[in-house]
Each structure stands twice: as C-alpha cells, then as structure tokens.
Amino acid sequence: MNPAPKGTPAPPHINSPSPVLVWGAQLAGTVAIAIVIYLFLGGRAAVIQGVDPAWTRFGLLGILLASGPALWYVRRFKATLDADIAAAKARGGAPDPQRRRELLRKLSVGGALCELPLALGVIYLLAGGELRYFVAAACVSVALRLSYRPFTARSR
C-alpha cells in the first residue's frame, strides 16, 4: 500500500527490503532446496537414462567450474556494497535509494549465479551420479552464497 497522498510517489526506501533480509532468505532458500532434493532424489536410480558413465567422472570438475561466474561477479557486488555503505555513512545512516536498488539488483544476480553449482549437481544426480557430488555442489553453492553477505565491506 502506498502511504503517500494521491499523485505523490512513495519514497523508494520505504518499500525496499533490507539487503540482509534478502540475503538471508536467499541463503535459507538454497539450503532448503538442497535438503529437499537430497531427500527426494538421493536414493533414486538415474532419471536421465542413456548417459555415458564416463561423463560422470567430470561431475566434480563441472560443479567447480560452475562456481566461476559467481566468483567473477562477487567483485562487482562488493564494489557496489562499498559504495552503498559509503553513501549511507555520508547520509547519516540513511541508505541512498538509487545505490540500494543497485545493490539489491546485484545481490539478486549474484544469488542466481550462486545456484549454478547446485543446478549442475541436480543434473549430475539425475544422470545417475554419486550422491556425495551433489552434497559437494550444495556446499559450494552455500559457500558462494556466504561470499555475497551484504553487511561487510571489502577487506583491504
């Protein structure tokens, strides 16, 4: 609901969620999805039939390579986080609405990139791969998600 009078746009910072809340929800969602997949697909036979067993040798390598885009993008995210923290300090603790929107956008893009190893782990599991590699993919996704925490600036 728009608390502003008719014809006056609401200030953008009123309706925008906290980056920490968004990040926490993303992290919880990643863990919940991994647990559900583990419980429902962990003990099943291969769903995708006809996959060459030699392909499964490269499952872990593929999972690790899938983390590359998220690792590359975290630098852009951290630069935006630093700018948002600096703008908030300059404004006496109030976030700059434009910088905050940019931070939330980059947090969303980075969050999607963090899911790539988990997605590849699911494909690997569906193709008859080992369950331990799926667990490794879930751990890699959670570790990547932890690198996108929006409450610490870049260390110098």
User: What pLDDT digit, counting tens, does each position of 2-46 carry?
Assistant: 555 566 555 554 667 889 999 999 999 999 999 999 998 877 777
Give the DSSP H or E segment for 104.
helix 97-114
CB 140 within 8 A of CB 67: yes
Structure tokens at 89: 């300090």
Q: Which amino acid is at 140?
A: V
Structure tokens at 95: 């976030």
Give the DSSP H or E segment for 55.
none
CB 63 within 8 A of CB 136: yes
**What parts of the chain have a pLDDT lower than 70?**
1-15, 153-156
pTM summary value: 0.80
